[in-house]
A and B are shown apart, each in its own frame.
Chain A
Amino acid sequence: MKSSFTFILLISITLFDLKAQESCFFTLSGKISSTSGEPLPGATISLLDLNTGEIAGTDGLFKIKNLCKRKYRIEVKYLGYEDKIIVLKIENSIEIEVALTESDQMLEEVVIADQYQRVEQNQTASALSGTALEQTKGMSLGESLRELSGVSSIQTGPAIFKPVIHGVHSQRILILNNGIRQEGQQWGAEHAPEIDPFIASNIVVIKDAGAIKYGTDALGGVVIINPPELPTTNTLGGELNLIGQSNGRSGTVSGTLEGGAKRFKGFGWRVQGTGKKSGDFHAPDYILSNTGYNELNYSLTTGYHKEDIGIEIFYSHFKTEIGILRGSSVETVVDLNNALETEPPAYTKDFTYNLINPHQEVKHDLLKLNAHKRVGNNEYTIQYGLQINRRKEFDVRKGKLYNIPSIDLQLITHTLDLEWEKSKEKTVRCIGINGMLQDNNNIGNTYRIPFIPNFNSTTLGAYIIQKVSFKKWILDGGVRYDYRYSKVVGYDPLNMLYRSTLKFHNASLTIGANRKILKNGVYLTSLASAWRPPHVAELYSFGQHQSAGSIENGLLLGDSSEIIDFNKAEYKNEKALKWVNTYQHNADKFQMEATAYYNFIFNYIYLKPTGVSTKVGGPKPTFHYRQTDASFLGFDFSLSYQVIKKVKLSAKTSLLRAADEKNNSYLYFIPSNRFEMNVRFEQPELKKWKSFYVESKLKYTAKQNRAPVKKTIDEIIQAEEAGETLPPFDFASAPNGYFLWNINMGISCPIKKSKMDFKVSVTNLLNTSYREYTNRMRYYADDVGRNISLAVKYSF
């Protein structure tokens, strides 16, 4: 492991000797606008020789740092405008203004640059930005990420989405919200990330394991939510979004206002807020009672940025109340059986905006302070984050207990990140330290033994990343070491106090390479190891959770009601080795990306149905956290081709084959194979109107044939009585494959310096009844039916 890293260091040292050191700390900043002066947010600025780039912020502003003294070819693109290539000789930090001419020709969609802010290794990454991001406005974070190939979701009902990257989710995905690692109660399959996607100007998904800068847990990948850069000049801009949806009769209002100061160049501020309200969604044949939600989020940012210094303060508040299908609340296997067979589900009532139990109330506050300073070709960054996460879960309980949450947790997380980056023409080196303190507490009286205990943990990590460019190759490597110490105190199943102390430590390593092939191709490869300490919930949780009448048991819960001493347990840290290979081809009329990956996760922790326990309340399904070795072999492919002038065809597919390698069986909740066909027509100009498009999307989701088999309750009980061990099983079979047809349409109308955008989209146009394997609601009800969505955006 160490030798490969030394190898990269050696290359870099050789390079230093060969080439005289040059200064590479110039900044190219500027504004992209149309010839009429209208800013073009989302325009891409690519450095053609470096294969890197940037995206213009809401006001069309952009900034590219670390440029050397030399000539650059810069390409600027924006949908509906003609491309422009500028050749610039950089001798100083400069500001430029680029005006793009509107084209009467149809241009390709905003091509996503290979590398973004915060993506500094050779990583297979995709991004939602520009038009693609605009089209997901109104969706939750997890739902919008499904637009990216290789990314899907685990759902609980129509509104709770958790992102899944290459088949893995929850604790195995790291989410960076504005540079801070998101820390909530992410262990639960129905705990969606507490982030308002309206804060983002682009969302990047890194699909390599062990994105080493960001800490442990990135076994499957990293989701990075990047807000736009703050304005630095005296401007005032903003946008207002209004979205209405027929399914759920929901409304969304989201606004942003930003500006600078006349007397204080470099100072900028932004205020942003989103409110959403939805009632019960409906399946084609019935109302999905109690699936509505209310959400209220806001954020404030202010900062000062100059060429070599910057300081920023960011605060955001996220609050949601979200219902869970009433008919999914069951107590025993018999109830579960009844629910599986009852359609429409029990308690199906008329449409309402009112929420009853089961439901969740979640609040998440984030305060971030960030400062960076450039000295020569060194950049120093310090970043502090404070997160306060409060989660209450209300179950269907009796009498006076109905209004008392059965889970009420507060998690306080402090993070401190220090980084030193030294860049030269051919090399970039990054050294950093991360510290994290967490304090998790059960709050108030829940009249339940806490589902997860209280804990305090301290995590420290350090990393070094070196990147070298060498002829047509860019090579990188990194190592990271982490240590976590936790103290746990909770109550066992007999309501007796227990305490324990946990220590975990491990190293991770990545190596990667990136090579240009001919004019339009890039090949990327990376091999990464990653690990994660277990979540306390995976070790100690027990009891019933969110009205699912099952009994969950952590890894340290024995068959008797006692807690196993951690040092005597057979627990081993989860470790992954992931190899990702990507080829990208970007020609004028034809773009293609193919990614093949293999991820082997040792000691994979998962929640496994283990049988039935007979309790006073009857036979209950039992689940235990178990460990196995898991493999994920997958292939993502996407291409788009401009058939004729205004018509573009595109196709996407994600294939995944996951296996439980120890038990020679299947894993739970693995997304099935997906295919998508898309035809898009664009008309950049229609008299006063601009950028008209209409697109038709046909999606096919195959049946998951590699799912654990269905066992009836009688079969489970019989096997238990006969003393047989059951193979991995599920309480229902995987649902059939399904086709969905979606239509999207949009048009813009410039009004002097401002702009109105209108969008109409119809999802599940044919009102198909279907069930999705990775939606936990599939046991009880069909998925959502046709939805018509109208969106208006005003930006100035």
Chain B
Amino acid sequence: MNNLLFKKAKQVGGILVMISLGVMTGCNNEDPLKQDVPEFISSVKLIFTPVGGGTAVSATATDDGFGSGNITIDRPINLMKNASYTLTFEILNNLAAPTDPEYNIGNEIEEEGTEHQFFFAWTKSVFSNPTGNGNIDNRSDPLNYNVEDKDANGLPIGLITSWTTTDVASSGTFTVLLKHQPDLKSNTTSSTDGETDIDLTFDVNVE
């Protein structure tokens, strides 16, 4: 019986070697599927449109992909003094096709408004309204979220905001912070709650 078993063991062994060889030659790797990457934000454009008409002012931050390179910002935000503007965004993912729903991230932020809120900070001398230096350091500081710009719970999102520059020429910085606050967002959640989606600082000149 031992011999018989040994023969069987040999057969099993032989089959195994064959399986392995088969796998070795037949194992042709397929290319991984190319993935859409809806979470990627390739560019954020800030658009300051003068209230009552005129040429909009914009500045864009662009990312180079998922590598460790830094973003580039094309130009400072150059605003007129003593003027009122409405700030809106164009937030895109250029790794998606322009026809894809993933291309325009702004729409997604609006749809998931109950999880998102923009916070802002600026150098005090730049704007006269809202007063102060913004609501990143203190959530209850003044900020002019547009009345139309609300989530399903009636809380502000920040995709549309209103700004009035000071009447003296000055320059400083302007920070835009978008927080993702799933199951957290309330009328007291602040800029330190949740995860950061956008955190960009632009130079701003008031002339």
Residues of A within 8 A of B31 (CB): 454, 489, 497
Q: Is the CB of B23 within 8 A of A437?
A: yes
Measuring CB to CB, which residues of chain B are less than 8 angstroms from any residue of chain A?
Answer: 2, 5-6, 8-9, 12-13, 16-17, 19-20, 23-24, 27-39, 41-44, 61, 63-71, 95, 108, 111-112, 115, 177, 180, 182, 184, 192-193, 195-200
Q: Is the CB of B67 within 8 A of A398?
A: no
Residues of A within 8 A of B64 (CB): 493-494, 560-561
Q: Is the CB of A616 within 8 A of B29?
A: no
**Which A-B residue pairs are the 8 nearest by beta carbons?**
A618-B199, A493-B67, A561-B67, A371-B9, A493-B66, A331-B195, A493-B65, A384-B16
Q: A309-B2, A335-B195, A617-B196 are known contacts. Are A437 and B35 too (CB-CB below 8 A)? A: no
Q: Is the CB of B66 within 8 A of A616?
A: no
What is the distance, in angstroms, from B181's C-beta to the closest C-beta of chain A? 10
- Answer yes or no: A505 CB below 8 A from chain B CBs: no
Question: What's the interface size class on A, roughly?
Answer: 35 or more
What is the distance, in angstroms, from B81's C-beta to the closest C-beta of chain A? 29
Q: How far is the CA of A347 from the CA of B44 in the complex (A)?
A: 29
Q: Determine which of B20, B69, B115 lies in contact with A414 in the assembled complex, contact meaning CB atoms within 8 Å.
A: B20
What is the distance, in angstroms, from B159's C-beta to the closest C-beta of chain A? 16
Q: How far is the CA of A450 from the CA of B32 in the complex (A)?
A: 8
For the residues of A in contact with B, the DSSP-based class is strand
- Answer yes or no: A86 CB below 8 A from chain B CBs: no
Q: How far is the CA of A396 from the CA of B195 in the complex (A)?
A: 9
Q: Is the CB of B32 within 8 A of A616?
A: no
Q: A338-B192, A439-B27 are known contacts. Are A616 and B35 too (CB-CB below 8 A)? A: no
Measuring CB to CB, which residues of chain A are less than 8 angstroms from any residue of chain B?
Answer: 304, 306, 308-309, 311, 329-332, 334-335, 338, 346-347, 369, 371, 373, 382, 384, 396-399, 401, 414, 416, 435, 437, 439, 441-442, 444-450, 453-456, 458, 487, 489-495, 497, 542-543, 549, 551, 553, 557, 559-561, 610, 613-619, 622, 624
Q: How far is the CA of A308 from the CA of B5 in the complex (A)?
A: 11
Q: How far is the CA of A414 from the CA of B26 in the complex (A)?
A: 13
Q: Is the CB of B35 within 8 A of A448?
A: yes
- Can you list 13 pairs linking A and B with CB atoms under 8 Å apart? A308-B2, A371-B12, A382-B13, A397-B39, A398-B112, A441-B29, A447-B36, A454-B32, A494-B64, A494-B67, A543-B66, A551-B68, A553-B67
- Residue on A nearest B109 in the bound complex, by CB: A398
What is the distance, in angstroms, from A303's C-beta to the closest C-beta of chain B? 11
Q: Is the CB of B71 within 8 A of A416?
A: no
What is the distance, in angstroms, from A137's C-beta to the closest C-beta of chain B? 35
Q: Determine which of B9, B41, B66 lies in contact with A309 in the assembled complex, contact meaning CB atoms within 8 Å.
A: B9
Q: Is the CB of A458 within 8 A of B24?
A: yes
Residues of B within 8 A of A616 (CB): 41-44, 61, 63, 71, 198-200
Q: How far is the CA of A624 from the CA of B23 in the complex (A)?
A: 35
- Residue on B nearest A611 in the bound complex, by CB: B68
- Residue on B nearest A450 in the bound complex, by CB: B32
Q: How far is the CA of A543 from the CA of B66 in the complex (A)?
A: 6
What is the distance, in angstroms, from A331's C-beta to the closest C-beta of chain B? 4
Residues of B within 8 A of A453 (CB): 32
Q: Is the CB of B23 within 8 A of A414?
A: yes
Q: How far is the CA of A453 from the CA of B13 in the complex (A)?
A: 33
- Residue on B nearest A418 in the bound complex, by CB: B13
- Tell me which of A332, A435, A487, A616 has the highest count of chain B C-beta atoms within 10 A of its own C-beta: A616
Residues of B within 8 A of A445 (CB): 33, 35-36
- Residue on B nearest A436 in the bound complex, by CB: B20
Residues of A within 8 A of B44 (CB): 616
Q: Determine which of A329, A439, A557, A618 lies in contact with B68 in the assembled complex, contact meaning CB atoms within 8 Å.
A: A557
